[in-house]
Structure 1
Amino acid sequence: MDFSLFYFDGDGSVAQPDKYRLLVESAKFADRHNFTALWIPERHFHAFGGLYPNPSVVNAALAMATERVQLRAGSVVLPLHHPVRIAEEWAVVDNLSNGRVAIAFASGWTMDEFILSREPHTHRKQTMWRGIKALQQLWRGQSVEYADASGRTVEAKILPKPIQSELPIWITCQSPETFMEAGKMGANVLTSLLGGTLEEVEPKIKLYRQYLEKSGHDPNSKKVTLMVHTFLGEETEQVKEKVQQPFCHYLKTHYDLLENLAKGMGLNVSLKNFSEDDLDSLLLFGVEGFMKGRSLIGTPQTCIPFIERLEQAGINEVACLIDFVQDFDAVMESLPYLQKLQEAVNLSSGFGVRS
């Protein structure tokens, strides 16, 4: 099981120094302690998450601060950009990092973000698949034809030449159809439990492995990466105390996650009609269940069974989302416990050792 760090939040609305301190210091920790990768998202027009409008820019900085860990986008929203621009930017980061970049691609979510796109929101899936193919060609040094403003055909190639001959690719997946398409093209996949339980995701992973094999790809050579909210400590109750309030606040600022939480509790209601007190009651009642079934929150010892369950489901990388807790000292103090979990998992053959 590979362990990586995933970033998603951070208040970008306030003009203050050290906004990226947690990112940089935790990245250095991951680099020193044999974590596999760092995942930087692309998020636009969010106060929380406003630290990450461009993962290539952030990873260019991390290339200078790290030496070994892979630098990934989680995810580039491909329909918002021209494939040539994406290929050029990431070729620069590949050179700065001496060949350590990888990209997860997504088709996009909110309509607001598509003010940046030349393509309509309704065509975003087709635009993503078409763009990935073009980007792979550009990365290999091939030319791709595009029309300029006058309609004249131009053959585009990119510079600088990347260090890696092939760009490692993930597809951000939630629907069965996207898992199938990722399998057909031989890409790795990035998914989460934000929209459902592990039991709901597991059949999609099996479907993905089936389509890998049908399409002539080695199903055992590809990664299924699961993004998981993560915070570890010495004692479970202390961890819960530290995490509960930040987690409640996190869910309140991510309305879609809050609605999924309500549905998971069997509440077929519109949260728009909830009062502030109702929302607080919902969160206090439901957040512990979310922690247990969909997160790595606890101690290294208590989290091992969940890791074992993920492995049984066909997941071979955990992308640990750490910045939902907006407390630099607390998160940095939790990382050595995550390191202990990683070591316990990977040193215990087949999870035979639980101590």
Structure 2
Amino acid sequence: MAGMITLGALAPLTRPGWTDAGRHLLAGLELAVREVNDAGGIAGTPLGLIVRDTGADPAKAEAAVDELAGLGVAALAGEYHSVVARAAATRADALGVPFLCSSAVLDTLTPRPTDLVARLSPPQSRGWRTYADHLLAAGHRRIAVVAQPSAYWDAGTRVLRDHLTPRGAGLTVLDPAADVCDALVAHRATALLLLTGSPDPAVGIIRAVRRDDRLTGVLLGAPAGQPEFLGDDGTGIPFLRYLPDQLTPLGTRVEATLRHHLGEAPSFVAFEGYDTVLVLTESLRTATSWAHLSVPGTRGPITFSPDPATGLWQWPQAPLQVAEREPSGHVRVLRTG
């Protein structure tokens, strides 16, 4: 795009990616780019967005990073899936392209600390420990997870087990290919966490458990946030989302615009996309490193510091909630962390 400063955007827009998340992420990115340009661009130069679909495929994401770097983008933005974001971040670092990851939470996104990669969402260890605390406070001590093979789900399972076990709770991992309902009965579990893709096989498992009279009262949970995009199937299932108790005035305005554009309430992922462009725009406008940025975002003031455990540049005050969707569509906040 001649005469423009361009950002490369990565998002899951086709299956097996979580396409609803990709759609919300892209809506936030695109709205922010339009508003930056309406305000005069970056020192008078328009901001452009080159979008590439990752489809939840790490190899596809790496190829997209190579292509976008070759096109001369000033920075990379986006991505929702953690394993995909890790591949993209590692490749971006190798090529010397800044990457602000919007939504992925896997604690370690690059094999080494780097000044090129930063993240807006809270790390998985923080969010999933908060989720485990919610389960404990609700009295659950026999917890099962149905988990698909994945570095992300494996990491989440470890976080849960390491937090729950010392506090007197047991965690059982179920095979998604087996009869989950029979296994829940056998283990006398009071909660089942869905560490699976959305909508498949998550929706099938939800419906099977809810139809089984033996499992009345078993809590269904999804720390990764699937219920955000599951409609009626997602009601009554606690999930993690990255929103504050109250949006900033900017966030309130952006929420109304995104709602009109999307035809539904924007998820936290849409706000992450919007905030990503705000941060990158300020960084490009001022030639400022992550360490010295301070950007008024939709969900609060955004600054960055290196995570003590991984060295990754991180928004340490990123908001976090355990929430559930009621049959009315209203989202009820159960815990903040």
* TM-score normalised by L of structure 1: 0.35
Comparing both structures, which one devotes a greater share of its residues to helix? 1
Normalised by the length of structure 2, the TM-score is 0.36
